[in-house]
C-alpha cells in the first residue's frame, strides 16, 4: 500500500492505473497513426495539440473506467466480467465524454474516424494488460510475507482479512502466541519463541516483510518491545492491528481501537489551506449546479405536487459540525406526515412510506438536490459524513464509541460511508458507517474527495450504495 495525501492506495491499483494511462496515451498516437497510415508521414505531427489531446483522452477513459468500478479490483470476478460488463460500457461512456469535450474545446478536435480507431487500439491494449495482470496477480513474489504477533481473537480476524481471496496480497507465515492471551488460531499455525530464538531471527528465518502486532493488552505482562525495535531497525515493517485494519479496509475499527491511537496517530489535519480549498470548491460548484439543475428541480417539484397536492420540500433538523443543529432541505419523497406519531424512524431501503414519485427521485438521487442550497450557505459540504437527526445522534453517541468524532467536519451530501455502505436502519448499520466516516475524518484530503465524487457517479449510474 502507498499512502498518498493520507489515503491508502493499493500498489496493484496505482501500478495498473499508471500503466493504463501510458497505454491510453500511446494508443492515441498508434490509433491516429493507423488512421493516417496511407497519408504523408507529416500528417500526424500536424495534429494540433496532439499530446494535450492524448492526455485528455487518457484521463477521460480512466475516469470512465473508475466510475464503473474497474479499479475496485476483485480477483474472484475473473476476467470475463470486468472486460465484458465493465470495459465496454466504460468505453461507451468515455466516447460520449470525449465527443463533448473534443468538439467544444478549441484545438482538441478529432474526427470520428480517428477517435474510433484510437478506441479500438486502446481497448486491445487495456484488455491485454488486464489479462497479464490477472495471470500474475497470484504470483508469490507479488505477495508480502507477514508475521502476526498474537494469537487471540484480534489476531484471528487479521488472519482472515489477509487471506480473503479478493485481497490475495499476503502470505501469512504464522502467529506468535503471547502469554496470558487465549489462542484462537489453529495450533499448526503457531510459531513459538524461546530463549534461544529471538523475534528477529525468527522473522529472518521465514523471510518476513512485515510484523503485525495484534496484542490487545501490552501492559502488565511480557511484551517484546525491544525485539520489535530490533526488527524495525533491521528493515522489517512493524504495524499495529488498528493501522492494519485501516490500511486494508479503508475503515477504522472502533471496537478494538485504543484512544491513544487516535490521539498520537497521524491524520485529522484541518489546515487553513485545506479548509479554504474545500469551501472554495463547495461555493463554486454549488453555484454551477444550482443553475444547471434548476430545470430538473422545477420539473421534480411539479411532479411531487401533482401526485398528492402536498408540500414539495421537506425540511428536517439535522446535526452538523461541532454538534450544531441546522435544517436540511430535500424534495419530499414520502407521504405527507410520514411520522404522524412524532417518533423518529430509521429510513429503510424499501420504505413503505415512499411515494411513487419519491421512489424515482430517490433512485436517481434527485431528492438530494435541494441540499446544494445547504452547501452554498456553508451548513454542509459536498463530501463529508451524512448528517443525522438529533434523536439518533443522542442514541448512537450513548452506545457507539467515538461517534461524535464525525462532527468535527461539516456533513456532506455524499461521503465515504455513502459510497461503500447501503441503507442503514439499525445501530449495527450505524457502527459500520461510522467506521467509514472516521476514516474520512482522519484522512480527508482533496484526493479522497475526488475519489468519493467519482464513486458517487458510479452509485448514481449503477444504483449501488445509498
Asked, for residue 205, whether it belongs to a domain, the answer is: yes
Asked, for residue 56, whether it belongs to a domain, the answer is: yes
**CATH code assigned at 216:** 3.40.50.720
- Asked whether residue 109 falls in the same domain as residue 169, the answer is no
Asked, for residue 415, whether it belongs to a domain, the answer is: yes
Nearest by Cα to 10 from 211, 247, 238, 239: 247
- Asked whether residue 355 falls in the same domain as residue 418, the answer is yes
Domain boundary among 196, 215, 249: 249
pLDDT score at 283: 93
- Asked whether residue 44 falls in the same domain as residue 70, the answer is yes
Q: Which residues 6+ apart lie within 8 Å of 220 measured at CB?
A: none
Asked, for residue 68, whether it belongs to a domain, the answer is: yes
pLDDT score at 49: 65
- Asked whether residue 332 falls in the same domain as residue 356, the answer is yes
- Asked whether residue 227 falls in the same domain as residue 277, the answer is no
Q: Tell me the DSSP string of 299-345.
A: HHHHHHHHHHS--SEEEEEEE-GGG-EEEEEEE--B-TTTTTTS---
Convert 313-344 to b/e letters by CB count within 10 Å (16 or more is b). ebeeebbbbeeeebebbbbbbbeeebeeeeee
What does DSSP assign to residue 36?
A: T
- Asked whether residue 95 falls in the same domain as residue 178, the answer is no
pLDDT score at 464: 56
DSSP helix/strand/coil, 147: strand
pLDDT score at 45: 46
pLDDT score at 427: 77
Spans of the chain, pLDDT less than 70:
36-49, 74-84, 107, 109, 137-142, 165-168, 218-221, 337-350, 422-425, 462-466
Per-residue CA distances from 88 to 26, 71, 118, 124, 387 (Å) = 20, 15, 14, 11, 37
- Asked whether residue 33 falls in the same domain as residue 149, the answer is no
- Asked whether residue 165 falls in the same domain as residue 119, the answer is no
Rounded to whole angstroms, the Cα distance separating 65 from 87 reads 7
Q: 10 Å Cβ neighbour count for 382?
A: 22
Q: Which residues 6+ apart lie within 8 Å of 37 measured at CB?
A: none
- Asked whether residue 378 falls in the same domain as residue 396, the answer is yes
- Asked whether residue 209 falls in the same domain as residue 90, the answer is no
Asked, for residue 254, whether it belongs to a domain, the answer is: no
Rounded to whole angstroms, the Cα distance separating 193 from 237 reads 19
Q: What is the pLDDT of residues 249-305, one digit of tens each?
A: 889 988 777 777 887 777 777 788 888 989 999 999 899 989 989 999 999 999 999
pLDDT score at 40: 46
Asked, for residue 265, whether it belongs to a domain, the answer is: no
Per-residue three-class SS string for 341-390: CCCCCCCCCCCCCECHHHHHHHHCCHHHCCHHHHHHHCCCEEECCCCECH
Q: What is the pLDDT of residues 363-393, one digit of tens each?
A: 888 888 999 999 999 999 999 999 998 988 9
Asked, for residue 300, whether it belongs to a domain, the answer is: yes
- Asked whether residue 104 falls in the same domain as residue 178, the answer is no
Domain boundary among 98, 113, 136: 136
Asked, for residue 219, whether it belongs to a domain, the answer is: yes
Strands 412-414 and 381-383: parallel
- Asked whether residue 320 falls in the same domain as residue 432, the answer is yes
Please give the tally of structural domains in the chain.
3
Domain boundary among 119, 136, 153: 136
pLDDT score at 326: 95
Give the number of residues written for the chain. Answer: 466
Whole domain around residue 227: which residue ranges? 140-249
pLDDT score at 337: 66
What does residue 277 show for φ and ψ, rounded to 5 degrees? -65, -40
Rounded to whole angstroms, the Cα distance separating 3 from 243 reads 12
Amino acid at each position: 500500500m502507498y499512502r498518498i495525501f493520507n489515503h491508502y492506495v493499493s500498489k496493484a491499483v496505482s501500478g495498473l492505473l499508471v500503466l493504463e494511462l501510458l497505454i491510453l496515451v500511446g494508443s492515441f498516437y498508434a490509433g491516429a497513426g493507423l488512421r493516417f497510415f496511407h497519408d504523408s508521414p507529416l500528417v500526424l505531427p500536424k495534429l494540433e495539440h496532439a499530446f494535450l489531446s492524448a492526455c485528455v483522452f487518457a484521463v477521460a477513459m480512466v475516469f470512465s473506467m473508475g466510475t464503473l468500478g474497474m479499479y475496485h479490483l476483485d480477483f474472484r470476478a475473473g476476467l470475463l466480467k470486468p472486460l465484458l460488463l465493465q470495459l465496454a460500457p466504460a468505453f461507451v461512456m468515455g466516447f460520449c465524454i470525449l465527443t463533448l469535450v473534443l468538439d467544444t474545446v478549441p484545438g482538441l478536435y478529432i474526427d470520428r474516424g480517428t477517435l474510433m480507431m484510437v478506441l479500438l487500439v486502446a481497448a486491445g491494449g487495456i484488455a491485454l494488460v488486464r489479462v497479464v495482470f490477472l495471470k500474475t496477480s497470484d504470483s508469490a513474489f507479488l505477495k508480502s510475507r507477514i508475521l502476526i504477533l498474537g494469537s487471540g481473537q484480534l489476531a484471528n480476524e487479521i488472519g482472515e482479512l489477509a487471506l480473503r481471496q479478493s485481497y490475495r496480497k499476503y502470505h501469512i507465515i504464522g502467529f506468535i502466541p503471547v502469554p496470558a492471551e487465549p489462542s484462537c488460531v489453529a495450533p499448526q499455525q503457531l510459531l513459538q519463541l524461546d530463549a534461544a530464538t529471538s523475534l528477529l531471527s525468527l522473522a529472518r528465518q521465514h523471510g518476513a516483510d512485515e510484523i503485525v502486532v495484534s496484542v490487545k493488552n501490552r501492559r502488565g505482562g511480557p511484551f517484546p518491545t525491544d525485539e520489535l525495535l530490533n526488527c524495525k531497525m533491521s528493515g522489517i515493517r512493524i504495524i499495529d492491528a488498528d493501522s492494519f485494519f485501516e490500511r486494508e479496509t479503508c475503515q477504522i475499527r472502533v471496537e478494538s481501537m485504543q484512544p491513544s491511537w487516535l490521539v498520537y496517530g497521524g491524520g485529522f489535519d484541518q489546515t487553513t489551506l485545506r479548509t479554504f480549498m474545500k469551501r472554495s470548491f463547495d461555493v463554486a460548484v454549488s453555484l454551477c449546479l444550482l443553475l444547471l439543475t434548476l430545470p430538473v428541480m422545477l420539473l421534480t417539484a411539479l411532479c411531487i405536487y401533482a401526485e398528492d397536492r402536498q408540500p414539495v420540500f421537506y425540511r428536517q433538523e439535522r446535526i452538523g459540525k461541532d454538534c450544531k443543529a441546522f435544517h436540511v432541505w430535500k424534495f419530499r419523497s414520502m407521504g405527507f406526515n410520514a411520522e404522524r406519531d412524532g417518533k423518529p424512524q430509521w429510513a429503510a431501503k424499501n420504505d413503505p412510506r415512499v411515494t411513487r414519485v419519491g421512489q424515482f427521485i430517490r433512485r436517481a438521487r434527485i431528492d438530494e438536490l435541494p441540499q446544494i442550497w445547504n452547501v452554498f450557505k456553508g451548513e454542509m459540504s459536498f463530501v463529508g459524513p451524512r448528517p443525522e437527526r438529533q434523536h439518533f445522534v443522542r442514541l448512537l453517541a450513548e452506545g457507539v464509541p467515538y461517534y461524535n468524532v464525525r462532527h468535527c467536519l461539516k456533513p456532506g451530501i455524499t461521503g465515504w460511508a455513502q459510497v461503500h455502505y447501503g441503507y442503514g436502519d439499525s445501530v449495527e448499520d450505524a457502527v459500520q458507517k461510522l467506521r467509514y466516516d472516521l476514516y474520512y475524518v482522519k484522512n480527508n484530503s482533496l484526493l479522497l474527495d475526488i475519489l468519493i465524487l467519482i464513486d458517487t457517479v458510479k452509485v448514481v449510474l449503477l444504483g449501488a450504495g445509498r
